[in-house]
Amino acid sequence: MDILSLSFDELSSAFAENSIQGFRAKQVYEWLHRHLAVSYDEMTNLPKALRAELAEKFPINTCKPERVQTASDSTVKFLYSLSDGEFIESVLMKYKYGYTVCVSSQVGCKMGCRFCASALGGYKRSLTAGEILSQVYAAQRHAGERISHIVLMGMGEPMDNFENVMKFISLVTDENGINLSMRNISLSTCGVLPGIERLMDKRLQLTLSISLHAPNDAIRNAIMPVNRKYPVDELLALCRRYAETTSRRISFEYSMMSGVNDSDECARELASKLRGMLCHVNLIPINEVAESPFRPSSQERIKSFSAILSASGISTTVRRKLGSDIDASCGQLRLKSIRERGNSDASRS
C-alpha cells in the first residue's frame, strides 16, 4: 500500500481496518504531509511498536535522490530512484515570487515528440500520486523553504496518467497538507483531447498549458506524433472552449526550432488561429538534445516571431532559459543515467 497516495479519509479507513486507533491517522497524515517525514522513525510522538508495525504494513515510498545538480543560476535538478529502481527527474527553480518545482508524472513517455529526451529513454510506467507528491516534498526539504508553485512539465504525459495526477493535485492542495494554491499549479499536455475535456469538466482553477510548437498539421505531424490522432485545429477549438468554460487563460508553449517552426509565416498563421482566445504564448528556444537534429532559433528569429504575435494582440513572452548547463530539460538526466548504467553493465559482462 502506497501510503503517500492516500487521502486522509483513505488513510483513516486503512488504519481502522488494521485496528489502529483513529487519532493515529491524523498524526501520521500530519507527519507525512505537513512535516514531510520520509520515515516512521521521525514520528517521535508514536510508540516504537506502532512505528515498526506501520513500517511493515505501510512502507513510505518516497523517491530517493541519486544525483542533485545545481546550475550556475541556482536551478537544481534532481535525479531520483523509485522503489522499483526506475529513475525520474524533477527541477527546482527559484523565481522572484518563490520556489517552483517541475515534477514528472511518468517514467519515460509514450508520446514520442521528436525533440524531447523523455521519449528517447523509453516508456516504463505511470507514477502513483504519492510518487509525484514525494518529488515536491523532497524539493521542499532540499530548499528548506516552502514551494509555492508546481508545474507538471517533467517527464511524462499527465493526461496519460489522469487519475493519479488528479489525486496528486487534490493531495497537494489539501489544507491539511502543504496547502498549495490551485492557481499556482500548471498542468502541461501535448494535446490529448479526451484528457483536456475531462479536466474542463472539473472546472479547476489551475493553469492548463498546451505544448503547441506548430500552427498547422504539416509541421506538427512531423514533430509530434500525437497530432496525427488529435489534429491541431481540433485541439485549438477545444482550447477555446476550455478557456470560455473555465475563464482561465490557456498557456501555449512554443519551442523555437531553427528552420522548422520559426518563420514569420508560422507566426502569422499562429496569430490568426489564436485571435480572440483567452491565452498566452511562451516562446522557448529549444534545448539541444544530442540525439535530436533540432537546433534553437536565433535571438533575431525569436524576436521577429514574437513581434508578429504581439502586434496581433496576443500576449507573448520569451521564456528565460534556466539550468541549461545541467541537462535540465525533460528526460535528459534520466537518459544519461540509463546510458551510464548500460555502459557499466556492459563493462561488467
For every residue of 108-167, DSSP letters joined together read: S-SS--TT-HHHHT---EEPPHHHHHHHHHHHHHHHTS-EEEEEE-SSS-GGGGHHHHHH
Q: Is 289 in the site for ligand SAH (CB under 6 A)?
A: yes
**Cell matching residue 137:** 516534498
Binding segment toward ligand SAH, per CB under 6 A, in 58-66, 139-147, 173-181, 183-191: 183-191
Is 330 annotated in the active site? yes
63 an active-site residue?
no
The C-alpha cell 498547422 sits at: 216
Say how far residue 89 (Cα) sits from the centre of its chain: 10
Among 75-83, 165-173, 195-203, 285-293, the segment contacting ligand SAH (CB under 6 A):
285-293
Nearer to ligand SAH, 239 or 330 (CB): 330
CB-based contact 34:176 (threshold 8 Å): yes
Among positions 104-133, residues that touch ligand SAH (CB under 6 A) are 111, 113, 115-116
Report CA 208 to chain centroid distance, whole Å: 12
In the DSSP assignment, the letter for residue 257 is B
User: What span, in angstroms and rounded, lies between the C-alpha atoms of 106 and 89?
Assistant: 10
Instruction: Scan residues 204-243 and list those touching ligand SAH (CB under 6 A).
Output: 211
Please identify the residue of the shown chain whose CB is closest to the bound ligand SAH: 211
What distance lies between CA 25 and its chain's CA centroid?
29
Q: What is the per-residue binding string for ligand SAH in 149-168, x denoting contact by CB under 6 A? A: ----x---x-----------
Classify each residue of 29-57 as buried b or exposed e, where b means 16 or more C-beta atoms within 10 Å of its C-beta: bbbbbeebbbebeebeebeeebbeebeee
Give whichever of 153 and 169 is closer to ligand SAH, judged by the CB atom.
Answer: 153
* Shortest Cβ 11–ligand SAH spacing (Å): 29
Q: Active site residue: 86, 89, 131, 157, which one?
A: 89
Cell of 117: 529526451
Contacts of 50 (CB under 8 A, 6+ apart): 20, 24
Interface with ligand SAH (CB under 6 A), residue total 18
> Which of 287, 297, 306, 316 is close enough to bind ligand SAH by CB under 6 A?
287
Q: Residue 334 Cβ, how far from ligand SAH at the closest point, in Å? A: 13
Tell which one of 12, 227, 255, 316 touches ligand SAH (CB under 6 A). Answer: 255
What is the contact mask toward ligand SAH in residues 17 to 56, using x (rule: CB under 6 A)?
----------------------------------------
DSSP-based three-state secondary structure for 106: strand
List the catalytic residue out of 109, 190, 266, 330: 330
- The candidate with the shortest Cα–Cα distance to 142, out of 79, 231, 97, 202, is 79
Nearer to ligand SAH, 180 or 335 (CB): 335
Q: Looking at 70-78, 92-100, 141-149, 280-288, which segment touches ligand SAH (CB under 6 A)?
A: 280-288
Q: Interface with ligand SAH includes 262 (CB under 6 A)?
A: no
From CA 82, how far away is CA 195, in angstroms rounded? 26
Q: Is 270 in the site for ligand SAH (CB under 6 A)?
A: no
CA–CA separation, 284 vs 287, rounded Å? Answer: 9
322 counts as binding ligand SAH under rule CB under 6 A: no
Taking the C-alpha atoms of residue 245 and residue 258, their distance in angstroms, rounded to an integer, is 35
Per CB under 6 A, 284 contacts ligand SAH: yes
Q: Give catalytic residue positions.
A: 89, 330
Give the footprint of ligand SAH on this chain (CB under 6 A).
Answer: 111, 113, 115-116, 153, 157, 188-190, 211, 253, 255, 284, 286-287, 289, 329-330
